[in-house]
Homo-oligomer: A and B are copies of this chain.
Amino acid sequence: MDLSDRKRKILQAIIDEYIGTAEPVGSRAISKKENLGLSSATIRNEMADLEEMGYLIQPHTSSGRVPSDEGYRFYVNSLMRKYQIGMEAVAQLQSMLVARVSQLEKLIRYAGAIASSLTEYTTVVTAPKEQNGKIKKIDLVMIASRTVMLIVVTRTVRSQVMNIDIDDENCAKLAEILNKNLSGLMADDISFEKIQDIQKEVEHRLSLHPKALIDIMHFVYDTITEDSETEIYVNNARSILKYPEYSDVEKAERIFSFLEDKENLKKLVESVSGDSIEAKIGKENDFEILQDCSTVSMNYSLGDRASGKIAVIGPKRMNYAKVFASLDLISNEIDKILGYYMNGE
């Protein structure tokens, strides 16, 4: 499957052109634009070869050629030139990140927003899920009669308002007991049995309605083991309407539907595994509906334990070089900035 240098150049030129115009590329256009010193006839011959090899597709006899999934794949693997992101954009990115570094959860949202503004495609990001964080502190605060806020501090804060029949005094005692028993433990290590043990202790030391106690323990357990409810954010979904591939409203609607369903997005983003930036082109995507899109995604880490994913969704003729460069930049800048601000645990 080795391609002659000339074929490579021609394929590259065709794909570059197609990425720009979204119109089938003819031989004349290539012979004129690129200075390969070849006539359109020669290019035509080469294009016929490239089509036979599976890199190009001719939508109809007598139309120009369009890259096939394999063509894009070859392009991404070996043809694509490095894209240089402008200094201003980099500077802007840096300042945005610096401004948000104190709020990890927000950082990630911004990373997604930045990615979509750099690339002009739709992005999907997941907030870094904190894996098994150590419980630093548990707090119970009465915020109204019969209303208590439970606060669990790990590296982040989870809180939940509970409507529970308890008074100030019992509330304070309970907080003390919870702290004594739970702080310092990993959230994942806390089993329902453990909670039941604590419940027994509480039962002995405090006077509470049994019902209230059970309720509280349920809340505590739920809050601690809460699945962090991996937050997912979609940015710039509307960009889909911009490219001619989706001028068909029906199609666009199906994509939007897909993007509004968090379950889909979760699956989409969870399938990213490796450390490097990865593209899935057309049929390489697992989802039927994305088969004429491409997705480019990566894992990035926020410090030692947390990690998040970011995916860019665009038409197959996306500007891969730019997207790769953008993700790379974001990942590096986040690393840099966190390396600077965080000193391990």
Question: Which residues on A are within 8 Å of B, measured CB to CB?
Answer: 101-104, 136-137, 139, 141-147, 149, 151, 153-157, 159-163, 219, 236-238, 241-242, 246-247, 249, 252-253, 256-257, 260, 341-345
Q: Is the CB of A102 within 8 A of B139?
A: no
By a CB distance below 8 angstroms, the chain B residues around A159 are: 156-157
Consensus secondary structure, chain A interface: mixed
Given contacts A102-B162, A103-B160, whether A144 and B241 have CB atoms under 8 Å apart is no
Tell me, in angstroms, the Cα distance from A45 to B214 when the chains sit together.
Answer: 72
Copies of this chain present: 2
Residues of chain B contacted by A139 (CB below 8 angstroms): 137, 139, 151, 153
Give the Cβ gap from A115 to chain B, nearest Cβ, in Å: 15
Known: A137-B141, A236-B260, A256-B241. A146 touches B103 (CB 8 A): no
A253 B241 Cβ-Cβ under 8 A: yes
Known contacts A102-B161, A143-B155, A144-B342; 13 further A-B pairs (Cβ under 8 A): A102-B162, A137-B139, A139-B153, A144-B155, A149-B153, A151-B151, A156-B159, A237-B260, A238-B253, A241-B249, A241-B253, A249-B249, A252-B252
Residues of B contacting A149 with CB < 8 Å?
A: 136, 153, 157
Residues on the B chain within 8 Å of A242, using CB = 253
A247–B248 Cα gap in the complex (Å)?
9
Give the shortest distance, in Å, between A219 (CB) and chain B (any CB).
8
Contact B101 A344 (CB under 8 A): no
